[in-house]
Structure 1
Amino acid sequence: MSENRGSGADVGERGDAGEESAGAAIADTPEISFQDLGVDDRVLAAIRDVGYESPSPIQAATIPPLLAGSDVVGLAQTGTGKTAAFAIPILMRLDTAAREPRALVLAPTRELAIQVAEAFGRYSAHIPDLHVLPIYGGQNYGVQLHGLRRGAHVVVGTPGRVIDHLEKGSLDLSKLEYLVLDEADEMLKMGFQEDVERILADTPDDKQVALFSATMPPAIRKISKQYLHNPVEITVKSKTTTATNISQRWVQVSHQRKLDALTRILEVEPFEAMIIFVRTKQATEELAEKLRSRGFSAAAINGDIVQAQRERTIGQLKSGALDILVATDVAARGLDVDRISHVLNYDIPHDTESYVHRIGRTGRAGRTGEALLFVAPRERHLLKAIERATRQPLAEIQLPTVEDVNAQRVQKFADSITESLGSDNLSLFRRLIEDYEREHDIPLADIAAALAVQSRDGENFLMQPEPPERERPARERPSRDRPARKFDDDDSRHRKTGAELATYRISVGKRHNVVPGAIVGAIANEGGLRRSDFGHISIRPDFSLVELPAKLSRETLEALRSTRIGGQLIQLRLDDGPPGRRGHSDRHGDKRGKPDKFAKRKPRG
């Protein structure tokens, strides 16, 4: 295997317009083993327990230079196995006798921080006395402080919470040996650039740094040049922004028929576990309840779900106690469960990036996956935008017919009979039925049918055909849902009425060089909100006004009070300014009456 230090020939093709492509190590590596890479027996046993047989391209190219002590810049999409690429070398070289943190991994979201910490735990299963601690916003400080006092060798955290602990003096990075920036481009998009650079500047100069990113924009290149020492640059070849091992299909269905369409697909499509994506928190609860009432094992996950409940739900999904998860985009970030064979977009996302992130929950690390997309007749332009952005056509399919559903129900009924024939209680019930047959002179077939009626809802066992006019899409009533005017998730900010939103004040403004994207990213990440929860944003010289849901949960408020943007505490609180103040009642302008270019017009009607 060869390595290119600094710059080198491009191996991977990238369609990121205007972004630099890094020099590359090998993308298509020959078949090698983890032993060939020099992985020691302790870690080797753990990765075998996990089920890894051979290294992925990013692992094969990254592990050797990291073991040799070089800094690394790795360009790879999510789901390529990059967590193991940096975790394995770190675990092999850690001194477990130390009490201060020796490795720090920065991640953009709490979900990814939890996922990376869990991966470190799996890979270190055969390394005694090694402690891994995730620290992130939204979790109680007491748990994190206890873990830091006990001694954590590996700390995985979000930038804002890491800086909180540095300022409190509870996190000591003076002995740090390894620093990893995971999904660095996402951290910068969410407004964490100043936080990241501050953390980098406060760590020892002789540390080893690994930076992983899906793209290489100028800001990432700047960090690489300033804080990394002659890094080895590695690019995994990628011609599309979505994995080729994910089959992508779409079906046209009007809004009022989505539940019926989903029910048909769940009954006919074989799947192991599925994530269903919807746009709003309320929709997750409503859809999960409707699915449970139809006999499916489903649960909701959204930004209002407390962390403990979220972890229980994901645990049930992993164990097989739960088959369907109904989620919002933010709630599913960083979710990595092997059983997820299908992702279904119940509501089409309003930006292509969200679509890529959603379907990336399946087909992880080389596994195959299925992605399904519901498209209303008036949303076809959004489908075309997805195909252009991903450079992959989505195959149109037809909904399963009534006959398809009924055939599947009959087959499952027959399978259940076959399975019950092996029961230990069969002889008991055979004797009871034979007694009933002699006593009442009823044919055995009629008795069996009566028992089936007891166990199944006879009237609703078979799906009834619909009137012909409802089967034809041309006769369906047009959806009352107003479609997006353009493929931009900013439009989703207008879906709430003024009565549902309140104006909050945060202590960052123009003099802090804050932009709307940083405000949305930081608040959505730390508070578990999504972009559709935001209304107007008005940035003033020393503060900003942000419209958020009027009824934020206590956990969300606590998390947001300690949230930072650009290293500055936002100190979120309800705005109590006078009703006539410019920017409070008239949110479209600043104090001078000039229009705020970031303010959005109120929806008509």
Structure 2
Amino acid sequence: MLTFEELGLKPEILKAILEIGFVEPTAIQQKTIPHLLNTKQDLIALAQTGSGKTAAFGLPVINQIDSDSKKTQSLVLCPTRELAIQIANDFNSYTKYSKKLDVVPVYGGASIETQIKALNKGVQIVVGTPGRVVDLIKRKKLKLEDIEWVVLDEADEMLNMGFKDDLDFILSHTPDQRQTLLFSATMSKEVLRISNNYMNKPEEISSGKRNQGADKVEHFYFVVNGRDKYLALKRIADINPDIYAIIFCRTKRETQEISDQLMADGYNADCLHGDLSQAQRDAVMGRYRKKNLQMLVATDVAARGLDVNEITHVINYNIPDDLETYTHRSGRTGRAGKAGISMAIIGPRDINKIKQLERILGKTFTKAEVPAGDAVIEKQLMAFIEKVKATEVEEKQIEPFINNIAAEFEDLSREDLIKKFVSLEFNKFLDYYKNSADLNQNAKAGRDRDSGRGERSDRGRKGGDFTKLFLNIGEKDNLNAGTLLGWINGLQSVPNGIEFGKIDVQRSFTFMEVESQHEQTILGALNVSEFDGRKVVAEPKMGGGPRTSNRSDRPDKKRGSGFKKRPNAGGDRKSGGRARVKAGSGGRRK
């Protein structure tokens, strides 16, 4: 195996990457770096996300940049602003000990005037998203006549996102003698078209087979009825206490709804989709990268170019219509040589899609069983016990209280103390999974589908009268079912134990159901409150009348199970889905 020293990089670059922690080149780096250092031939490199692509093209380009010239010599195009920023940061770290090189990321959602000022000072390398690069070219602020290297990073994703015309425009404004480097996870027809139209007899190298997923990703699928998909998702999360996952949904609406339900059910989750502002997106991604979120629910478009390491699971809530998209999804885990798991929750009719994926990827998908409640309970309990055992004790701080604590427990046996200790953390969780139903679609006929006490979304609860209320706040106030219930949960005048039913969030108003016996209490609390600075008006819906509704309990996730405390509530956004919360039963939503 070649070392970085043997690849021919400059000493100052070697010093920088050694400090970063680079030990030996990855497979794609071993093949790409010598080619780019020794020839001007165009290059197509097929490699998965997380294989070291940025260094594969970045190190040899930086090695050859003329730092004495302020002309733009290299242009790197990528699908998202997050990836553009990441690449620019990586380039800056590679040049830490080199003569000053200016690297400027340009992307939408940020001030174009600030980016123009940076370009006017003269920069050797520009990293950008296609839309913003086109804008800067048309304004004559980004000049490409001296470009020597054009890098198309994640070319297949840029084309899938609809940047075909932008790429054509940009490449048509670059010199014919440039060296074009195309990096892609898959070789689609559109990628081939770009190659045929804008590249000159490119060399093709690969760190794996075409359209093949990461080697260290295991693929599983679960077959359930459509109505049980969300319940299956929760069990998958519960059986993996240390999960750090991306959950892919098909639409923005579904993404928001699943995220709302997870948060309301106590899971440490949030969403990423096209309706979020850039500030909201940045906030979510900041929390996810810091692992303050364990589950990110996202659409394919919103997750394009997402660069996060150590993701343990990719969960396909829906199999993508374009089966090649599955390759991109699964490539979010199993990165940088680490193992990963890709899962799909499917219905019986989707089994043929799984067979197609096996043929496309050349990999075997394992049919897995949605775990039974008993298995989940055991896994969560043991994970909690392991965390307790690993907890560091500050002897000096706790020593003054030991005698009093021991006196309080002196009447309890060791066994009783353990039972109380575990019950304090897990009573509601244990109750939720007691006699839980088998969610697997192939379970024996005639089983009791309603035996899962907390799992049916519309069965298993004692009947009660509900009254529908009208609220003057809605989606335009950044409201959804989860935020509404979290806000109500934080009102001091709302007592514990009140249950809510169906919630329907519309553009400028909301309908919600509350137990009839607590109607006046809730109306009184809401009508003296403000939501995000707006005076709330709540009143009974005319002609709505009380309703009898059945609903079951949901698990109250505890910190011991690996999730942060959230309000015990759930619901759909604008879908008429049901939501239930015992007010005051959980912490406020962050």
Length-normalised TM-score, structure 2? 0.67
Partner of 2:435: 466
Which whole-Å CA distance do the structure 2 matches of 1:187 and 1:143 have between them? 25
Q: Is the 8 A contact 1:375 1:383 kept in 2?
A: no
Q: CA deviation at 1:301?
A: 1.1
Partner of 1:47: 17
Q: 1:181 to 1:450 in 2, by over 3 A?
A: closer
Q: 1:216 to 1:436 in 2, by over 3 A?
A: closer
SS of equivalent to 1:64: helix
Q: CA deviation at 1:332?
A: 0.9
CA distances 1:221-241 after superposition (whole Å, capped 9, x unpaired)? 676566555654434441652
Partner of 2:425: 456
Q: 1:108 to 1:292 in 2, by over 3 A?
A: closer
Q: Is the 8 A contact 1:76 1:82 kept in 2?
A: no
Partner of 1:362: 333
2:390 paired with 1:419: yes
2:311 paired with 1:311: no
The residue type paired with residue 142 of structure 1 is E
Which whole-Å CA distance do the structure 1 matches of 2:188 and 2:39 have between them? 25
Q: CA deviation at 1:195?
A: 3.9
Partner of 1:167: 138
- Range with bigger deviation, 392-401 or 205-214: 205-214
Which whole-Å CA distance do the structure 2 matches of 1:391 and 1:468 have between them? 35
Which whole-Å CA distance do the structure 2 matches of 1:410 and 1:236 have between them? 42
Partner of 1:253: 224
Which whole-Å CA distance do the structure 2 matches of 1:315 and 1:121 have between them? 21
2:119 paired with 1:119: no
Q: 1:400 to 1:225 in 2, by over 3 A?
A: closer
Q: CA deviation at 1:400?
A: 1.6
Which whole-Å CA distance do the structure 1 matches of 2:36 and 2:4 have between them? 14
Q: Is the 8 A contact 1:72 1:234 kept in 2?
A: no
Q: Is the 8 A contact 1:273 1:323 kept in 2?
A: yes
SS of equivalent to 2:318: coil
For residue 67 of structure 1, the aligned residue among 16, 28, 37 is 37
Q: Is the 8 A contact 2:78 2:305 kept in 1?
A: no
Length-normalised TM-score, structure 1? 0.65
The residue type paired with residue 60 of structure 1 is Q
Superposition map of 1:129-140 within 5 A: 129-140=100-111
Partner of 1:436: 408
Q: Is the 8 A contact 2:252 2:274 kept in 1?
A: yes
Which whole-Å CA distance do the structure 2 matches of 1:219 and 1:337 have between them? 26
Partner of 1:349: 320
Which whole-Å CA distance do the structure 1 matches of 2:26 and 2:201 have between them? 24
**C-alpha RMSD over aligned residues:** 3.4
Which whole-Å CA distance do the structure 1 matches of 2:400 and 2:83 have between them? 53
Q: Is the 8 A contact 1:133 1:156 kept in 2?
A: yes
Q: CA deviation at 1:219?
A: 6.9
Superposition map of 1:182-201 within 5 A: 182-187=153-158, 192-201=163-172
CA distances 1:475-526 after superposition (whole Å, capped 9, x unpaired)? 588xxxxxxxxxxxxxxxxxxxxxxxxxxxxxxxxxxxxxxxxxxxxxxxxx
Q: CA deviation at 1:333?
A: 0.9
Q: Is the 8 A contact 2:44 2:202 kept in 1?
A: no
SS of equivalent to 1:366: coil
The residue type paired with residue 220 of structure 2 is R
Q: Is the 8 A contact 1:111 1:333 kept in 2?
A: no
The residue type paired with residue 64 of structure 1 is P
Which whole-Å CA distance do the structure 2 matches of 1:234 and 1:148 have between them? 33
CA distances 1:171-213 after superposition (whole Å, capped 9, x unpaired)? 1223333222334455556565554344334334443332334
SS of equivalent to 1:364: coil
Partner of 1:285: 256
- Range with bigger deviation, 222-231 or 422-431: 222-231
Q: CA deviation at 1:457?
A: 4.8
Instruction: Mark the runs of 5 or more structure 1 residues left unpaired by the alignment.
Output: 1-30, 478-549, 552-605
Which whole-Å CA distance do the structure 1 matches of 2:271 and 2:102 have between them? 32
For residue 387 of structure 1, the aligned residue among 334, 345, 358 is 358
Which whole-Å CA distance do the structure 1 matches of 2:195 and 2:371 have between them? 51
Which whole-Å CA distance do the structure 2 matches of 1:344 and 1:321 have between them? 19
SS of equivalent to 1:466: coil
Q: CA deviation at 1:71?
A: 2.7
SS of equivalent to 1:48: helix
Partner of 1:296: 267
- Range with bigger deviation, 220-229 or 179-188: 220-229
Partner of 1:403: 374
Q: Is the 8 A contact 2:243 2:295 kept in 1?
A: no
Which whole-Å CA distance do the structure 2 matches of 1:391 and 1:241 have between them? 7
Q: CA deviation at 1:336?
A: 1.9
Partner of 1:95: 66
- Count of residue correspondences: 447
Partner of 2:518: none
CA distances 1:67-122 after superposition (whole Å, capped 9, x unpaired)? 23513222303323332221111111223344332211123444543443343234
2:33 paired with 1:33: no
Which whole-Å CA distance do the structure 1 matches of 2:79 and 2:221 have between them? 31
The residue type paired with residue 362 of structure 2 is R
Q: CA deviation at 1:216?
A: 5.8
CA distances 1:122-151 after superposition (whole Å, capped 9, x unpaired)? 433444643322223344323422332344
Q: CA deviation at 1:246?
A: 0.9
Q: 1:399 to 1:445 in 2, by over 3 A?
A: same
SS of equivalent to 1:155: strand
The residue type paired with residue 400 of structure 2 is L
Q: CA deviation at 1:408?
A: 1.7
CA distances 1:405-460 after superposition (whole Å, capped 9, x unpaired)? 1212321342244234734344234222234357xx6667656655655x525243
Which whole-Å CA distance do the structure 1 matches of 2:190 and 2:255 have between them? 36
Partner of 1:324: 295
Q: Is the 8 A contact 1:65 1:72 kept in 2?
A: no
Which whole-Å CA distance do the structure 2 matches of 1:416 and 1:149 have between them? 54
Instruction: Mark the runs of 5 or more structure 2 residues left unpaired by the alignment.
Output: 450-505, 508-590
Q: Is the 8 A contact 2:79 2:129 kept in 1?
A: yes
Q: 1:381 to 1:132 in 2, by over 3 A?
A: same
Q: CA deviation at 1:157?
A: 1.9
Q: Is the 8 A contact 1:301 1:310 kept in 2?
A: yes
